[in-house]
Structure 1
Amino acid sequence: MKNTPIIALDFHSAEKTFEFLSAFDGDVHVKVGMQLYYKEGPAIVSRLKELGYDVFLDLKLHDIPNTVKSAMEVLAGFGVDLVNVHAAGGKAMMEAALEGLDKGTPSGHKRPALIGVTQLTSTDDRQVREEQLINVALRDSVLHYAQLTKSAGLDGVVCSVHESAVIQEACGTEFLKVTPGIRLSDGGVHDQKRIATPEEARLAGSTHIVVGRAITGAVDPRAAYEEINALWKGLV
């Protein structure tokens, strides 16, 4: 996927999705998450690809290795550009996911990039300690998952902007750092806890940003997208 913002299509239906996308061309990147995928199924992905969109299918698979391998083999046939798993599933699961993607990618086509979710941007240090019973700081947990993901052969991780720099230092500039929780400086936090602006993401070394309500909830979504894209690319 090119280095442009990925718009999170967190809508309840295909109708709402394409009504929103009518203000855009097929050259923007989009994310299909669980809400939209569970409502519309593979058909929504097929239609987006037919219209020329690059698609991040954000289903965060987390199961035993064989189940994830089989699921990824199916997802590879959708022609999506980026998929993910939970790094907490372990190295064997992530290796199986990659094997399934390789097996399911049609001959002559590029395998979808595969990334591991480290810690959700709604997670804070208290939750890591008290709910996950992890006895290291959130930042250290994220870095550990990133290094485990790289050792499994994946292409990168989902992380917050606040961990991008340390992950880049440990895993290299080519390792993808896909960062959600992006807001404009005057935007709302909503249910995210580790948020950042597009400029902060660029300076921290994020390779991709995922933006939802700052665009989809804007009065003028196209204008909001253009502002965020310009900030992300350092054009303003």
Structure 2
Amino acid sequence: MNARDRLIVGLDIPTMTEAEKMVATLGDTVSFYKIGYQLAFAGGLEFARELVRDGKQVFLDMKLLDIDNTVAKGVENIVKMGVTMLTLHAYPKAMRAAVEAAKGSGLCLLAVTVLTSMDETDLINAGYEYDPHTLVLRRVEQALSAGMGGIVCSAEESSAVRKIVGPDMAVVTPGIRPAGSDAGDQKRVMTPADALSAGSSHLVVARPIVRAPDPKAAAQAILAEMRTVL
């Protein structure tokens, strides 16, 4: 894959009008988009279908978690949308149900390990006995066993994750911030070049691009940095 196939722009945008304008602004510079809760509930699911029809790749960031049957039925319908990637929380039963439902399709199922907005204190407050690094690696092993297509983790964990999953699984890292940019509410961040060097296969970048004065120039700068490593 080249840099353009590895950069996923997060459409963390409140309205369809703004999302459509952003995609038009970025043009051929970007070929891969993430749609999460914010846009999904403002018409983003149909927009995902439109992007697929236009030849774009879509990462549907739904972080599914429910009883096995509900997860499976949801995945079956998402397969029909033609999106490239879908996230689930890395709970073993949910992952196994999703893998079975997506069997034979081109959908890459991604296991969300520990959100990049969470640190050790956050995990303790949520009732977990593990620190972020330990919990990530535990969930990575479970995702590998379940047959998932990839992992979502902080770039700080990419190197350790890559050692477990080998060269073929996707390692998708949000919380990417070019040098000098504001980390915002992310607590475990890394620059694009460092993330790729650490073992990430795909980088999710939202605010540094979609809130930039010139989004296209911001995306081009990130792609240029990525190419220095690739």
Per the shorter chain, which TM-score range?
A: over 0.9
TM-score by length of 2: 0.93
Residue-by-residue CA offset, 1:102-129 (whole Å, 9 max, x unaligned): 3xx7xxxx4210010000000001112x
TM-score by length of 1: 0.91
Structure 1 residue ranges (4+ consecutive) displaced by more than 3 angstroms after TM superposition: none
Contact 2:193 2:229 in 1 (8 A): no
Instruction: Indicate yes or no: 2:177 matched with 1:175.
Output: no
TM-fit CA distance, 1:134: 2.4
TM-fit CA distance, 1:170: 1.4
Aligned positions, number: 227
- Of residues 119, 129, 137, the one that matches 1:124 is 119
TM-fit CA distance, 1:35: 0.7
Distance 1:235 1:152 in 2: 31
Distance 1:94 1:235 in 2: 32
> Of Structure 1 and Structure 2, which has the larger fraction of its residues in helix?
2
2:220 maps to 226
Matched residue type, 2:101: G
Matched residue type, 1:97: A
TM-fit CA distance, 1:13: 1.8
Structure 1: which 5+ residue stretches go unaligned?
none
Where do 1:178-217 residues align within 5 Å? 178-217=172-211
TM-fit CA distance, 1:41: 4.7
1:111 maps to 106
Residue-by-residue CA offset, 1:173-206 (whole Å, 9 max, x unaligned): 2121100001111100111100110011011010
1:22 maps to 24
Cα distance change of structure 1 residues 194 and 92 upon mapping to structure 2, 3 Å threshold: same
Distance 2:7 2:228 in 1: 13
Matched residue type, 2:55: G
Matched residue type, 1:145: R
User: Secondary structure at the residue paired with 1:77?
Assistant: helix
1:95 maps to 96
User: Secondary structure at the residue paired with 1:31?
Assistant: strand
TM-fit CA distance, 1:24: 2.5
Residue-by-residue CA offset, 1:46-73 (whole Å, 9 max, x unaligned): 1111222100011000111111001101
Residue-by-residue CA offset, 1:128-186 (whole Å, 9 max, x unaligned): 2x223322321011011111011000011100000000011112121211000011111
1:84 maps to 87
2:42 maps to 39
User: Secondary structure at the residue paired with 1:57?
Assistant: strand
Distance 1:163 1:41 in 2: 30
TM-fit CA distance, 1:76: 0.6
2:145 maps to 151
Matched residue type, 2:180: D
2:130 maps to 136
